[in-house]
């Protein structure tokens, strides 16, 4: 009987019930024993001169040899320019605060040979996700969409940890990595989504996937080689995303003034810009190559360069452009780079009772799910 019970519970551990589907979640062991993936190092800032770290109650400061070098109550101030080696802040109460960002775990101050010191928050991976998921999507979203986002965020973080095992930090707290809003961003609904998927990642051939995600694909996702170059990635093809219609920026339009165009593209040295047209598109319908015709010449640029130069008015590369009055009318669909999971598509699918496994396998076809072992 005991043997049967053990086998039963082992089966429960690897079979995850999701609606009518049963998905196998296999154990996954990190490839490097020297670097745990259960903790993450987040760059939360850089500092020169006086640094203030706040906390509730006693704050302790340790040197690189884990010797206690300073203590304070609620606040510690020090001059980082005098540091020769990393130090670590630990709070007795509920977290630490750096420049109004309240965080779990500890804070490291890492001096550099040149330039400002790095301020790095080290904390358990799962607790990091408590703040990331609600920083990336609204906590009010359906639970299945939140779980899909939690797995994407965890997969992204683990891949970065593995890739940067010899670096001073793994991820940044901004959109350079994924947004990390700290303790005050946490919410019970997103914390539950993280806990319900504890340790679960998306993998392809035993490796954490490049879990790209964006706001709204405008009905069709893009392949990464069309955005950043490189080789084709099997689990990131162009897929239809009709559920994006439920979200913000599925359709959008902006009028861009002639003056803004002139100032932004003056480096092309083609004189007064008289027309802009799209010459080619990618397979997903996004702008690939454009031509700008000026009074003194013509220039061709990539769509991604055009969008990067103009910034916010061009929300995605799925757009058309035409001359209108003293400027240009831009009509587009979607928001963001378009690669991988569409967050609004995930929202729409969850609203239609798709579970998180179906959502992930739609945007990352061919992937498997695996749980990190200890």
H helical segments located in the chain? 2-14, 125-136, 143-163, 188-196, 225-228, 258-264, 303-310, 343-351, 356-363
pLDDT at 94: 80
More confident residue, 317 or 57: 317
The domain ranges of the chain are 49-115, 126-213+340-372, 251-333
Q: What is the pLDDT of residue 85?
A: 94
Better-predicted residue by pLDDT, 17 or 364 = 364
Q: How far is 340 from 239, CA to CA, in rounded Å? A: 9
Give 165-211 pLDDT, tens digit per residue: 889 999 999 999 999 999 999 999 999 999 999 999 999 999 999 99
**1 pLDDT exceeds 70?**
no
Q: pLDDT-based confidence at 30, cuts 50/70/90?
A: confident
- Which of the four pLDDT bands, split at 50, 70 and 90, describes residue 235? very high
Residue 246: per-residue pLDDT: 85
pLDDT at 22: 57
Position 6 scores a pLDDT of 43
State yes or no: pLDDT of 242 exceeds 80.
yes
Q: Which residues make beta-bridge pairs with 71?
A: 60
Percent of the chain's residues with pLDDT above 90: 86
Instruction: Summarize the confidence of residues 342-351 as an average pLDDT.
Output: 97
Whole-number pLDDT of residue 8? 45
Q: Across the beta sheet with 327-332, what order do the strands follow?
A: 252-257, 327-332, 319-323
Could you read off the pLDDT of 32-77 as tens digits, one per residue? 776 789 999 999 999 998 999 999 899 999 999 999 999 999 999 9
Mean of the pLDDT values across residues 229-235?
Answer: 95
Per-residue pLDDT at 9: 46
pLDDT at 361 over 80: yes
Given a cut of 60, whether residue 7 has pLDDT beyond it is: no
pLDDT digits (tens, 9 = 90+) for 99-158: 999 999 999 999 998 889 999 999 999 999 999 999 999 999 999 999 999 999 999 999
Q: Note the pLDDT of residue 340.
A: 98
Q: How confident is the model at residue 2 (pLDDT cuts 50, 70, 90)?
A: low
Beta bridge partners of 257: 327
Question: Cα(72)–Cα(93) distance, rounded to whole angstroms?
Answer: 12
- DSSP code, position 365: T
Residues 6-19, mean pLDDT to the nearest whole number: 45
The pTM assigned to this predicted structure is 0.88
Distance, CA of 58 to CA of 72 (rounded, Å): 6
Indicate the average pLDDT of the chain.
92
In this prediction, residues 245-262 reach a mean pLDDT of 94
Helix axes 188-196, 125-136, angle to 10 degrees: 130
Q: For 184-224, what is the HEC assignment?
A: HHCCHHHHHHHHHCCCEEEEECCEECCCCEECECCCECECC
Most distant CA atoms of the chain, gap in Å: 87
Residue 92 is predicted with a pLDDT of: 87
Mean pLDDT of the region 281-295:
97
């Amino acid at each position: 009987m005991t043997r049967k019970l053990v086998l039963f519970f082992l089966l429960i551990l690897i079979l995850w019930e999701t609606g009518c589907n049963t998905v196998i979640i296999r154990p996954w062991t990190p490839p490097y024993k020297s670097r745990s993936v259960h903790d993450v190092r987040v760059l939360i800032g850089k500092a020169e001169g006086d640094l203030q770290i706040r906390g509730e109650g006693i704050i302790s400061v340790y040197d690189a040899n884990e010797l206690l070098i300073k203590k304070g109550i609620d606040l510690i101030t020090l001059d980082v320019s005098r540091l020769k080696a990393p130090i670590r802040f630990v709070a007795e109460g509920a977290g630490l605060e750096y420049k109004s960002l309240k965080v779990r775990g500890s804070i490291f101050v890492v001096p550099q040979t040149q330039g400002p010191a790095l301020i790095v928050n080290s904390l358990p991976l799962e607790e990091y996700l408590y703040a990331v998921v609600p920083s990336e999507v609204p906590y009010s979203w359906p639970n299945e969409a939140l779980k899909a986002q939690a797995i994407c965020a965890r997969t992204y973080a683990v891949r970065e940890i593995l890739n940067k095992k010899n670096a001073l930090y793994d991820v940044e707290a901004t959109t350079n990595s994924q947004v990390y809003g700290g303790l005050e961003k946490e919410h019970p609904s997103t914390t539950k989504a993280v806990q319900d998927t504890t340790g679960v990642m998306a993998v392809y051939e035993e490796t954490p996937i490049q879990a790209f995600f964006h706001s709204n694909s405008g009905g069709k996702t893009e392949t990464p080689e069309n955005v950043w170059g490189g080789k084709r990635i099997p689990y990131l093809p162009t897929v239809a995303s009709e559920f994006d219609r439920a979200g913000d920026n599925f359709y959008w339009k902006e009028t861009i003034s002639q003056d803004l165009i002139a100032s932004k593209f003056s480096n092309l040295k083609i004189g007064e810009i008289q027309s802009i047209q799209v010459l080619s598109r990618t397979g997903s319908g996004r702008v690939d190559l454009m031509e700008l015709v000026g009074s003194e010449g013509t220039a061709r640029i990539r769509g991604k360069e055009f969008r990067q130069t103009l910034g916010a008015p061009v929300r995605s590369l799925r757009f058309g452009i035409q001359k209108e009055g003293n400027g240009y009318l831009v009509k587009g669909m979607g928001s963001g780079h378009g690669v991988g999971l569409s967050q609004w598509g995930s929202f729409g699918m969850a609203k239609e009772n798709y579970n998180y496994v179906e959502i992930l396998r739609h945007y990352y076809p061919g992937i498997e799910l695996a749980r990190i072992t200890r």
